[in-house]
Amino acid sequence: MVYELAKKTATPTPMTDQARALYRLLVAHGHGEDVSSSTDANAAPQATPAELVWSVSGQSAVKPSNDSYQRADGKVWRKSEDRFRISDTPDGLLAAVADGAGSSGMYCGPWAEALVERLPDTPISNPDTLNQWIDGFWESFSGEYRKQTGDDAGKLSKFVQEGSYSTLVACWLGKRDDGISLNWLGYGDSPILVFDGEGDGMSLSVCYPATLAEMERDPHLLNWKNLAKQAHLRAGTRQITEPATVMLASDGIGQLVLFRYLAAIHSLGHSLGGDRTPPAPSEQAAGLLGEFRQLIQTGKGQLADVARAHANLPGSGFAGEMAALRVSLASEDDFLRVTGDYRDLGLMPNDDATVILIDVAHPAIEEIGTETSS
């Protein structure tokens, strides 16, 4: 599934071939041409600093080695239970990812879909608002899927007792006189990452979950049976006044992108590629980098093994890898190829993968005042 939406933005310089070549070089040899640098010379003149626009792309793909379970009528393959949404709102943009927990409960994919599709156009920022919103549709969802259990008493009992589980991460963007407002919420382990700057100047400024330790714990999930809790909800707001990239994702590929960033600054001393040195990491990024280094040096378990794999293959620059990922979102085949290569290198778990990238930038001068249709 692919979804692309442009909001008052210029068409980017095509770079599919360069980005793909870069990616192959990165994963095979640990060095290569930086795609972001190769496109700078051809970029159109930029608008005044006050003018910012966004462009959005998203992609979702089922894991290549899918799970199965046996039923009386034969083997059943599990389907992806990730869902995502990108849509215009009266104020700007809404984007969301929900990851249904297939290992618990029943009808988790449909529950994830209900969460993203029913999100309001205005931000949710506290548990009271979150619970009031879910109150508006959980009974109809429960009633509909009770019927789906048919005459199977076992299914009905499991559904009634366990319910349906899913993560949820969402953000709302709106145009303001002083830039673009970003409001976000997270429940569970589906991450949101915000990188300030462009190209070699990308610097992580927002990360949820906030620590690597939180990412390793079993996530707290939304269930139509239970009230959302203050302790498990995270929400934030900020103004974007300069170019930035906002990423929403399911946990596996979100962790991949975060670890590629941390591996780059760990290896290159805060240089993300080329000869330019970007700003030092933010306070939160510095804390994440400390955790990453501790995992590499003394950590035990799966997360530590993955961190060491990333550290052993830092690549030639985070900006180039992000450019390659961005280009891969144009088609499901390209996205599957890129994520599959990362899995083969031991850098990403065998899991469904869903990504939304929102690029905020200055438009080309000739595009100012020209709004494209969605």
The tens place of each residue's pLDDT in the chain, 374 residues long, gives 444 344 433 333 333 444 443 444 343 333 333 333 333 323 333 333 458 999 999 999 887 655 554 555 555 556 789 999 999 999 999 999 999 987 789 999 999 999 999 999 999 999 999 999 999 999 999 999 999 998 889 899 999 999 999 999 999 999 988 899 999 999 999 999 999 998 888 999 999 999 999 988 878 999 999 999 999 999 999 999 999 999 999 999 999 999 999 999 898 764 444 444 555 678 899 999 999 999 999 999 999 999 999 999 987 789 999 999 999 999 999 999 999 999 999 999 888 899 999 999 988 654 444 444 43
- Residues for the chain: how many in total? 374
* CATH number, domain containing residue 95: 3.60.40.10
- Between CA 98 and CA 118 the distance in angstroms is 12
Q: What is the pTM of this model?
A: 0.81
Asked whether residue 101 is assigned to any structural domain, the reply reads yes
- What is the number of domains present in the chain? 1
> How would DSSP label each residue in 118-165?
T--SS---SHHHHHHHHHTTHHHHHHHHHHHTTT-HHHHHHHHHH--E
Predicted pLDDT at 77: 53
Asked whether residue 37 is assigned to any structural domain, the reply reads yes
Give me the domain span that covers residue 201.
2-62+80-365
Asked whether residue 347 is assigned to any structural domain, the reply reads yes
Helix axes 318-328, 251-268, angle to 10 degrees: 150
Asked whether residue 120 is assigned to any structural domain, the reply reads yes
- Between CA 89 and CA 93 the distance in angstroms is 5
Asked whether residue 231 is assigned to any structural domain, the reply reads yes
Report, in angstroms and rounded to the nearest whole number, the Rg of the chain calculated over CA atoms. 21
Token look-up 């995992």 returns: 295
Give the distance from CA 165 to its chain's centroid: 19
Asked whether residue 350 is assigned to any structural domain, the reply reads yes
Asked whether residue 148 is assigned to any structural domain, the reply reads yes
Structure tokens that stand for 307 in this block: 């961190």
Asked whether residue 69 is assigned to any structural domain, the reply reads no
